[in-house]
Structures are given as C-alpha cells and as structure tokens.
Structure 1
Amino acid sequence: MCGLLGILSANGNAADYVPALQRALPCLHHRGPDEAGTWQDGDLAFGFNRLAIIDIAHSHQPLRWGPEGEPERYAMTFNGEIYNYIELREELTALGYAFETEGDGEPIMVGFHHWGADVVNHLRGMFAIAIWDTVDRSLFLARDQFGIKPLFYATTGVGTVFSSEKKAILEMAEELNLDLSLDRRAIEHYVDLQYVPEPETLHTGIRRLESGCTATIIPGGELVEKRYFTPRFPVKSVPKGREQDLFDRIARVLEDSVEKHMRADVTVGSFLSGGIDSTAIATLAKRHNPNLLTFTTGFEREGYSEVDVAAESAAAIGVEHIVKIVSPEEYANAIPKIMWYLDDPVADPSLVPLYFVAAEARKHVKVVLSGEGADELFGGYTIYREPLSLAPFEKIPTPLRRGLGRLSRVLPEGMKGKSLLERGSMTMEERYYGNARSFNFEQMQRVIPWARREWDHREVTAPIYAQSRDMDPVARMQHLDLFTWMRGDILVKADKINMANSLELRVPFLDKEVFKVAETIPYDLKIANGTTKYALRKAMEQIVPPHVLHRKKLGFPVPMRHWLAGDELFGWAQDTINESQTDEIFNKKAVLEMLNEHRAGVSDHSRRLWTVLAFMVWHGIFVENRIDPQIEQRDYPVEL
C-alpha cells in the first residue's frame, strides 16, 4: 500500500522534475507515512510513500526485478494489495522464476514479464500499478477491476504525470504547464450526480484511468488506454430445487475471500454497522482472528445511529467493539479537511463520520475490512425493487405513458401518487441514474443558470446502459451502479477517507472470484420475498446473527436535514455561501433562498444544499486558496 507519483518525460529529462516530485510527495504522506523517496531513470522519475502491510522489512518501493541476464529490468510502484500473491508466487516459481522478497508486489512484476499486460487478469486484489520497462522504455499503468484504488494522470508538452491523488499533480502544475481551468461539464455532472464521474475530474487538464483499464505510454507518446474487465450480469436461471446450491456457493466464496483479505503482517480489524454486509464480513473475519476488533460510528440524535444494533451484533459474534460518536461541532470542523483529502468533492454526508471512525480504528489497527460492494453485486438497494412496482406501466402505450408524466407535473408536491406517475411515465434510462437524485434539470438551472440539458446525467449513463440491453431490469441497475455510484461515491470515500488516516480498507465483496458467483444470481433470487439481496441473506443464514439477517436497509443515516435547518449547521451554511467566491458558477441568491426555505420547512433541500456547500468548500481550498484545511502530517507506528 502506498501513494505513488511519477512523471514520464517527453524529452528524456525526468531528473529535472525530481525536485518537483519531492515538493509534491508530502501531499501523499497520509497514504504512506512509513517510507518515502524518489527514483529516476532518464525518461522516468518515481515518487512514493509506503504504508508497510506485507513483508514490512523488505518490499521497499520502487520494487526492482529482472529475469536472468537483465537484472532489475523493471521498476514498479503500486498502491494496493494482491491477495493471491502466495498462489501467484507458487505458480511462477513452478515456471522457473526466482523471487527475492516475500511481498505481494514482486509477483506482479514477474507476472508482467511472463504474461505482459494480461497479468492484471491473474491478480486478485485492489491495485493501481505503474511499471517502467528500462529496456523497452515504456510505462505500463493499470487499475483493479472495480476501481478500488485511484490513478490520476495529466499529459502536457512536458510529459505525462500520474499519481494516486490529484493534489500531488496540482502541486506540480507550474513545472508541467498544466491547464488549471475548471471543467464546466464536470461541474454540471457533479451537481447532477453528487460526484464527478470517471474519467473526469473538476480540472480540465487532469483525468483518471478508469476502473478495469490498463494503459501504455512511451516517452513523448500518447497514453493508450484499454479495458480488460467489464462487469456483466447475463440472464441466468436456477433449476427449481437447486437454489441451495447457489446459496452454498455464495457462502463458500465469501469465506474464501475474507480469508484471503486477512493476509497481512499487521493487525486487521473490521468496520461493523447494523447491516448484513459488514456483519457478514466481521463474522467470517472472526474465524481467522479470534481477537478481532470492530468499529462503528453514529450520532447522538435518536434515529440516526446504528450503534446499538452494531453493539448487539458484536456481542453475538463475540468481538471487542469500539464506538465513536460524532457531534455536530466535530462534523462542521472536519469538512474542509475532508474536502482536501477527497481531491474532488463528493456530496455524501456519511464521509464525515467515516473519517472519525477511521481515525479511531487507526489507533488500534492498520487494516480494516468493510462491506462495500455487496449492494451492487447482490442487488441490495431498495430502488432495485422499483421495476416490480412500475411493471404495469410497461404495458401502457408510450403516448399514454407520456401523458401520465405531464399529468404528474401539475399535481401538487407531496400528493400521493405523483412520484409514481412521474417515474412510471419514463423509461429506465430516463429515470434511473444511480442512488443520487437530488436535482432535476429545472432545479439545477435555479442554482447554475448556465446548465446545459445535453450535459445532464444521460451523457454519463447512456453509454453504460447501451452495454446492458440484454440484461434483466435489476441487472441493468446494478451494471449502471458499478460504473457510476460505486466507483464515483462508494469507493472514493472508501479509499480517500480511510487513507486520510493511513488506514488500509479492504473490501472482500469486491473480489473477482466473488463476482463470478454473484453474476450468476437470477433476477428472482435478488429481490424475492419482498426484500433485497435475497440470495446473500439465504447464504448467510447460518453465519449472521438473526437480528441482522432480515433487517431493513438504512444506508448510513446522517441528520443533515435537521442540522441544516437548526442551529447546528444553518449558520455555517449561510457563512459558507456568503463567503464563497463562486458567483460565476452558482446563483448564490438562489442557494440562500433554498437554505431559508429549508429552515422554514417549505421544502427539504438538504441533499441539494449539501451538494452545493461541499463544492463551495472545495472551491475555497483548491481554487480560491482561501480556506485552510489544516492538514497535519501524522506519523504512525510502522507495525500495529
């Protein structure tokens, strides 16, 4: 695990940029406080910060390896963990290769020499990889199948720079002659979706290598990207009476995934909420670590905490449990710091309590497991049941359906049936664009008058939907979420917020072997019996405590609606809007009107307000240089 940074010079003078790399590396200190340094080889220079998890005394970065006759041909920095590194080492040893370390990085380089770019299909884990071939003078970049680990890049006349975090590239902007203008299309996508979708960032000159992709580049050349993994959910069925075989396969592959994700030379803990996903992971992890520590967070406000359920689960599975309660004051004070860590804003209020529970966990462990990805792979969002409720509309002729949509627009807000008519009048491609649905286009134009309808969510989602025409309705929604909500929100906060605390988060559900089983679950076994994740629940019946097994999904409740209307955050929100220098982006008068309407109870604008407020804080840090995020470089024990 580390923060990687590098530049491939277009003119063979990478050494000239080593001082810039050294200046930028502190931006990545939180990703790897155990070791730091730079290395260069004419065309290329690497910078790195290491968080030592496996083979702590060795496996220093950049890793070097070469076959017989070409010692140290390859140099690599990588961020992540390869969970099948032991099996890969055995396989490659049998093919005649020798190893000098016990870590999980060397098998990547040996595999790259043997399989070439196809090495990514042999890796089971989370990763962002940069391999420099000193003989061919070419750079190979790769991200894991689901996009758990980030990789940003920018190409100018100077060369191509790449990094685990965008802020390190921004730190080198002057040397790179980097375009620092804001991308208005990306801003509209952010306001529409509550996150910036891949491969965009809010800066025009910086992009992201997409999940499941590799890229190659030579000095002075263009970056050539290639997709190697596309998650799909082909139409499947299970013979009557054979459902238990599927449930057993799910249980076995999850057991195996958790066992592999527990591989580390440091202590591994687990996050634990009140839901089935984290409880299943923690229960399975307890089998491999009898002294497992679990962590949860919540709020003092009644109805906005899963602390009691999590504590009951911890007692049921027999683990020591640690709780962090977050106050409104702590919440508000942490927002600038969190926006700095994020690189681009993500308008998800649960980011803040996650930051605090990660900080608490880091006092005790260096690695935690979590349940991200279960909803997308196993059909866990309540909205996935919507095709059932809207099925009758599919039988209505299109002109009549459109008429019902027009009727819904004239019905009073809050009237029963208004939302059903509105959504029933639309196709799935029109109505569903992930779990973030805060602004419609008219509402967006109220706060960003320059918004263009052709830039709305359909510009992002249409190409993804085009890939899923042969899937069932639930699978289509899952497929969309894997490319949008999961990698734009879920995995960004999983990586950035935990790494802000030098804490490695591992996600056993997002494992390629788990996906091979999840993709075989038929439509009817995802949302059967009036629930979601039905097959997963059946698979976990003998593992998860009964009080969790059929508990309704809550997400992560944050009392944002109450705090923005009350004294907790209203004043902070008002000051943020008034002080923000975003007049060319937002109609600040309209935003203040929304805040006052929210306080008066005229309408619940909490999600819309939070989307704008998060951007304003981000803008104050990265564009205006007005807000000090008050980042401190914290050093932790190498072993914990």
Structure 2
Amino acid sequence: RRESLTRLGFKFKNREDFPDCQLILEAYQKWGITFVSELTGDFVCAIWDQSCDRFFLVRSPTSWRNLFYLRKQDGSIYFSNTIQLITEQKHCSRRVNTNKVISFLMLRVVHEMNNTFYQDVLKIPSGHYLECVAGRSPTLKRYWSVEAVQAHPLILTSCDDYYEAFRDLFQTVVSDYIPTGQVFTHLSGGLDSSSVTAMAAHILQQQARSLIALGYIPSRDKQNPCANWNYSDQSYMEAVVQKFNNITLHPVSSSKQLFFHQQYYSWLDEPVLNPMNITWMMTCVEKARASGSEAILVGQGGNFTISWPTAPFVSFSELNLWHQMRRVLSQVKQSCYASISPPPWQLFSAIHAKLAATYRKNFYIEERLKKTGDPRAAVFNYGMSDYAANFFSLTRHVFQMEHLDPTQDRRIMEFCLRIPLSILMKQGRSRLLVREGLKNIVPDVICERTTRGMQLPDWAIKFEQQKLVFKDWLHAWRHTIIAEFLDIPQLLQLLHRWDYARVEESSGKTHVHFQITYRHKFLRALEVGSFLAANRLV
C-alpha cells in the first residue's frame, strides 16, 4: 500500500484517510486496465469507464475474495462478491453445473475454475479480469501467469544471499499483514503456520506487543499411527511459544459435528474440498471473534510457496531427472492409465462409475498438461486459491473475520517462482527456503522435522457418532439427482463395513487405507451430496 501510494504520487495515508477503492481508482486513471499488474494486494473490484464505454470485473493473482456474475439473455450482468446475492435473483435457476460437479469429484482442480456448482453463475478466476463492451460478448482475460514471472529469474551470488533476501522479504510482508489490536494466528506446529507465527512474534516483540496462537489439540492422546505422521503436534506448537515470550497458546478443541457447516452452504459456490478441516478452522474463527479480533494470520498457501516442494529427502539431481522423465514419458503414461491401472483420483472419489468412464479421457488430458511442467503453474495459473477463498469468503461475510495469509502474498509467490530450484531443495533435503531462510526465527526442532501432523486426528470419533445419520442421508438420496453423481451402493457398502475399533487400532498401511477410504472418499462424497441437497440444485 505504501509503495503503491508513492508510485501514484501520494504520501502514505491510512485506510481511513485514503480507502482501498480510491487507491484502485487512482491506479486505473494513471495506468488504465494495466493497473492490475501494478498492485500487489488481495483485491477484487468493478470499474465502469464511461469514456470508452467499458466495464471491468477484476480479481488479483492470488485472492481470498471471490467475484461472481450472472449474465441474462438481454446481455445485462449481475455481479457480487457473495454467491448468495446472485442465487437469490429471480433470473438465476437452480440448475446444477454437471461438469463442475464431476470435476470436483475427480479432483480436477485446474480447469472449470470460472464455473460454480450453479449452471448460471460464473466467477472470475484469480489473475483474470472480465471485460464487457456494449454489443459484444464479455471476454475473460488472464493478465498474470507463472510463465511470465519465471521468464525473469532472480540471479544472486550465493545460496546465503537468496535465503537472506527471502528472510528480509518475508519479514516485510508479514509486517504488512499484522493487524492493529490483538493479533491471532493459526498454529499447527508445521513449517508454514510456525513460520508465520514466529515471524509475527519476532516483529511484535520489537513493538512490545503480543499475539495469541490458536492450535488444535486432539481430544485424547494416542500413539502415532504411521512413521511419518504425528497424531498430535502439541510439542511443536509449544516449541514456538517457548522461543518467544510474547506468544500465548490457546488450545482449541471442537465438539462440533461433521457437516455442521451445512447451515452456511448458501454462502459457498461449491462444497468444501476437505470437510474435516473446516471443523477446527471454524472453531478458531469463533474463538478469535469472541475475543474481539477481526483477523487471523494463517499459512494456508505455504505448501506451494515458502515450503515447496513438500516431498522430503529428494535430491536436486533426482528432482531434475524426475521432471525430465515426466516430460518424456507423460504422454505414454497417461494414455496407458486406463489399461494398466486405475487413475490416481479413483482412490479418493466415490463418483458414479458411468460418469467416471465417460469423463476419464478429459482427466488424462489434463494430467498430461500438469505433469509436463512446473506443478506450481497448474496451481497458480488456474486459481487453486479459489478453494481457500470459498471458506475465507464465508467467514468474512458471516463472521466479519479476515484470514490474512502472507505465504500467498504476490511478492512472496513471485519471489519463490523466480529463484533456482537448487535454493528450494538439494542434498536430500526439501523446503529449504524456510529451513535455511528462517533459521533463528523458527525453532530448530520445527525446521528439521521430517514428520507431518494429522489434521483433525480424532475424526473417527465423530464419524462413529454420526454413522446412522450418514446412513439416512444415503438412503434419502437414492432417488434424487445426487444418485446420478455418487455411487450410493458403494457408499452404503463402505458404511456397512465401518468398524470403529479397527480404525482406531490400525497403523501403517492399514491406517492409510482407512484414511483414504473413509476420511477422504466417503466424507468428501457426503460433502458433495449434502451441498446439492441443501441448495436444492436440480
């Protein structure tokens, strides 16, 4: 904000004296529609330029804010930052967008990003704007891409220079995101949330300010079910707290049932990708809001920026070879998927078999595009942040709570895309930008950890308590449109096989099997079904 005002010829002013909408207007008047490449914040906006009879709907490259629109037959456009206001219009039907539902169930996250579960309602993907000219069809244009950023690599002298540059930039960005008043953060004990919390504490310490970290603690203690997964990350959370004297850890536990968020479906344009996470995330929102806060610092997008790549113990030479092999063999591999093995998404999806067979070819084509280049391109070019924007938009409008994510800031994202891969991983170690760049800020025990925490690890308890409810839902959906998308018989069979004791006592590969089958496949299918039912989509 300070840099943008300076470039526009204004002295720095706070938001009360110079609101964001005025800053955007000044930028447009100076640079025209190319202003979208000049701003670095998270924004959506609508601009009517009477001088050239043009109307623009704009969304920033990474955005936690949605922008929806509905085009009528007479050419007029309704638009809103909440889908609920669009779907309440009499011109908006309740027709389901079949392609979008299928894409969601097949985990095809890089296409259909301008569509919603509503046939008539579209949205602006991140890094795009919609241009409307009288007498012409609206045109959706991308103005930001990974390839354009990577065309201008950052060249520094040594690895240490890169890590120092990252630390300075990250400190600047986190400082920009720290709100006034009491500061709250999500703290899971992982690299991303720990990096944001630790850097915020470091900055606030110099200002004699404190922060409250919200961390989910399982309802009971249990042995780690797998070698690389921790049932509880409480010890890592406490390591961050002990390093700084201005952090207070507020343990969070949730008595909420699974799918409690059905009451908020009218605010969402699609189901929640991981219905497990929303349980504890919403509890954090309510706890922070009850304390008077209007914002929470998070590290939601770090896996594709500051801590990419997440795969541990792969050497740089192996990474290069891996990418080269994927480029050469991708077409052959994808064309052979159907005959030699089930597609990877099938393990996680309960899509109806007829739909899977019909749309499988489209999935292979998309996978080939994803596998032959930098996987981050698929994430950023096609708006992977939209899945987080779905939930964050809900909390913004219903609870007046902002989620602020420095790891998805445009400056951070472009820095990570412009640096050599050897800075991100080498010699059998990955996620080096955080591990090396934030030494002495993030505790060593976290920088060097090789395990991951299980999100909502006590999910099976809630599943057991609600299994009869799930059975009623599945029977009620057998003769509805939901049965056209979901394999209801398979889901009923899985529910019949459910054995709570076995799930709780499982370990190793057996535990992973139960996680995939019930936590992902079964519960994600219920999320889609309950979304369609609650919003009366036909």
Counterpart for residue 506 of structure 2 = none
Give 1:344's match in structure 2, choosing from 236, 256, 270: 270
Counterpart for residue 33 of structure 1 = none
Once the two structures are TM-superposed, the CA of residue 390 in structure 1 deviates from its matched residue by 8.4
Q: Larger helix proportion, structure 1 or 2?
A: 2
Give 2:104's match in structure 1, choosing from 172, 175, 190: 190
Counterpart for residue 165 of structure 1 = 82
Counterpart for residue 226 of structure 2 = none
Q: Is the 8 A contact 1:197 1:488 kept in 2?
A: no
What one-letter code is carried by the residue in structure 1 that aligns with 2:88? E
Give 2:258's match in structure 1, choosing from 315, 327, 332: 332
Give 1:381's match in structure 2, choosing from 310, 329, 339: 310
Q: Structure 1 residues 398, 126: closer, same or farther in 2, change over 3 A?
A: closer
Q: Distance in 1 between matches of 2:259 and 2:325?
A: 49
Helix, strand or coil at the partner of 2:96: coil
Counterpart for residue 457 of structure 1 = 363
Q: Structure 1 residues 103, 508: closer, same or farther in 2, change over 3 A?
A: same
Counterpart for residue 317 of structure 1 = 244
Counterpart for residue 102 of structure 1 = 18
> RMSD of the alignment, in Å?
3.9
Whether 2:451 is the aligned partner of 1:536: answer no
Give the number of equivalent residue pairs. Answer: 499
What one-letter code is carried by the residue in structure 1 that aligns with 2:176? K
Q: Distance in 2 between matches of 1:380 and 1:126?
A: 24
Q: Is the 8 A contact 2:425 2:432 kept in 1?
A: yes
Give 1:286's match in structure 2, choosing from 201, 204, 207: 201
Q: Structure 1 residues 397, 454: closer, same or farther in 2, change over 3 A?
A: closer
Alignment of 1:75-86 (within 5 A): 84=1, 86=2
Q: Distance in 1 between matches of 2:49 and 2:337?
A: 60
Structure 2: runs of 5 or more not aligned: 223-229, 504-509
Q: Structure 1 residues 165, 554: closer, same or farther in 2, change over 3 A?
A: farther
What one-letter code is carried by the residue in structure 2 that aligns with 1:478? R
Helix, strand or coil at the partner of 1:102: coil
What one-letter code is carried by the residue in structure 2 that aligns with 1:342? L
**Deviation digits for residues 536-590 of structure 1 (CA, Å, limit 9, x no counterpart):** 21001121111211223526523477347x6233223212212233233334222
Counterpart for residue 354 of structure 1 = 281
Alignment of 1:92-131 (within 5 A): 92-93=8-9, 101-131=17-47
Q: Distance in 2 between matches of 1:519 and 1:406?
A: 31
Once the two structures are TM-superposed, the CA of residue 250 in structure 1 deviates from its matched residue by 0.6
Structure 1: runs of 5 or more not aligned: 1-83, 410-421, 424-429, 626-640
Helix, strand or coil at the partner of 2:43: strand
Aligned-pair identity in percent equals 16
Give 2:523's match in structure 1, choosing from 610, 614, 617: 610
Helix, strand or coil at the partner of 1:612: helix
Give 1:547's match in structure 2, choosing from 437, 445, 450: 445
What one-letter code is carried by the residue in structure 1 that aligns with 2:253? I
Worse-matched range after superposition: 500-509 or 586-595: 586-595
Once the two structures are TM-superposed, the CA of residue 597 in structure 1 deviates from its matched residue by 3.4
Q: Distance in 1 between matches of 2:324 and 2:370?
A: 24
Q: Distance in 2 between matches of 1:209 and 1:247?
A: 35
What one-letter code is carried by the residue in structure 2 that aligns with 1:150? N
Helix, strand or coil at the partner of 1:567: helix
Q: Structure 1 residues 392, 133: closer, same or farther in 2, change over 3 A?
A: closer
TM-score scaled by length of structure 2: 0.81
Counterpart for residue 363 of structure 1 = 290
TM-score scaled by length of structure 1: 0.69
Q: Structure 1 residues 130, 593: closer, same or farther in 2, change over 3 A?
A: same
What one-letter code is carried by the residue in structure 1 that aligns with 2:494? M
Once the two structures are TM-superposed, the CA of residue 295 in structure 1 deviates from its matched residue by 1.6
Once the two structures are TM-superposed, the CA of residue 235 in structure 1 deviates from its matched residue by 8.7
What one-letter code is carried by the residue in structure 2 that aligns with 1:621? A
Q: Distance in 1 between matches of 2:400 and 2:365?
A: 36
Counterpart for residue 469 of structure 2 = 572
Q: Distance in 2 between matches of 1:251 and 1:494?
A: 27
Q: Is the 8 A contact 2:40 2:409 kept in 1?
A: yes
Alignment of 1:22-41 (within 5 A): none
Alignment of 1:138-157 (within 5 A): 138-157=54-73
Q: Distance in 1 between matches of 2:94 and 2:537?
A: 12
Q: Structure 1 residues 194, 576: closer, same or farther in 2, change over 3 A?
A: farther
Q: Distance in 1 between matches of 2:120 and 2:56?
A: 21
What one-letter code is carried by the residue in structure 2 that aligns with 1:502? Q
Helix, strand or coil at the partner of 1:593: helix
Q: Structure 1 residues 477, 100: closer, same or farther in 2, change over 3 A?
A: closer
Counterpart for residue 527 of structure 1 = 425
Give 1:204's match in structure 2, choosing from 106, 119, 122: 119
Counterpart for residue 61 of structure 1 = none
Counterpart for residue 229 of structure 1 = 144
Counterpart for residue 622 of structure 1 = 535
Once the two structures are TM-superposed, the CA of residue 180 in structure 1 deviates from its matched residue by 2.9
Worse-matched range after superposition: 510-519 or 486-495: 486-495
Once the two structures are TM-superposed, the CA of residue 130 in structure 1 deviates from its matched residue by 1.3
Counterpart for residue 589 of structure 1 = 489
Once the two structures are TM-superposed, the CA of residue 94 in structure 1 deviates from its matched residue by 5.4
Q: Is the 8 A contact 1:341 1:497 kept in 2?
A: no
Q: Structure 1 residues 384, 360: closer, same or farther in 2, change over 3 A?
A: farther
Whether 2:172 is the aligned partner of 1:274: answer no
Once the two structures are TM-superposed, the CA of residue 337 in structure 1 deviates from its matched residue by 2.6
Once the two structures are TM-superposed, the CA of residue 396 in structure 1 deviates from its matched residue by 13
Q: Structure 1 residues 210, 291: closer, same or farther in 2, change over 3 A?
A: same
Worse-matched range after superposition: 367-376 or 486-495: 486-495
Q: Is the 8 A contact 2:183 2:210 kept in 1?
A: no
Q: Structure 1 residues 101, 451: closer, same or farther in 2, change over 3 A?
A: farther
Q: Structure 1 residues 154, 560: closer, same or farther in 2, change over 3 A?
A: farther
Counterpart for residue 55 of structure 1 = none
